[in-house]
Structure 1
């Protein structure tokens, strides 16, 4: 899947919501602790992690390329 970053960056929590992995931003705090999330091949559990165009995020085995 590809995701277009509209501003300079998007946070991991915002990306999870935008890609329908969670239904509300409030769920991000718990989701990042429970879901298997990799950012550029490194485990990530911070919902505020800034993601930029060129980053690759894998959420529960589904790959997302940020553009």
Structure 2
């Protein structure tokens, strides 16, 4: 499944994106998902919750893919 998430800024932090996309209910939940290696950014497992996600980046969570657009 592919979804698009629109952001107004030039970037968004990974943990904030997970909350915005309703993958995580809280920042703490997002942190655990990232630490557990459940999140991929552009095909690579990402462990930094503050990773800057820019328009065009793809983030996948358990088989669901979101693309960030501006």
Task: Answer whether TM exceeds 0.5 for this pair.
Answer: yes
Aligned positions, number:
67
Aligned position for 2:62: 60
Moved more, 38-47 or 23-32: 23-32
Gaps of 5+ in 2: none
Gaps of 5+ in 1: none
Aligned position for 1:36: 38
Moved more, 29-38 or 16-25: 29-38
Q: Deviation at 1:46?
A: 1.0
* 1:1-45 deviations in Å (ceiling 9; x for gaps): 001121010011001111111111232221211252111111101
Q: CA RMSD in A?
A: 1.2
Moved more, 30-39 or 7-16: 30-39
Structure 1's consecutive aligned runs of 4 or more residues displaced over 3 angstroms after TM superposition are none
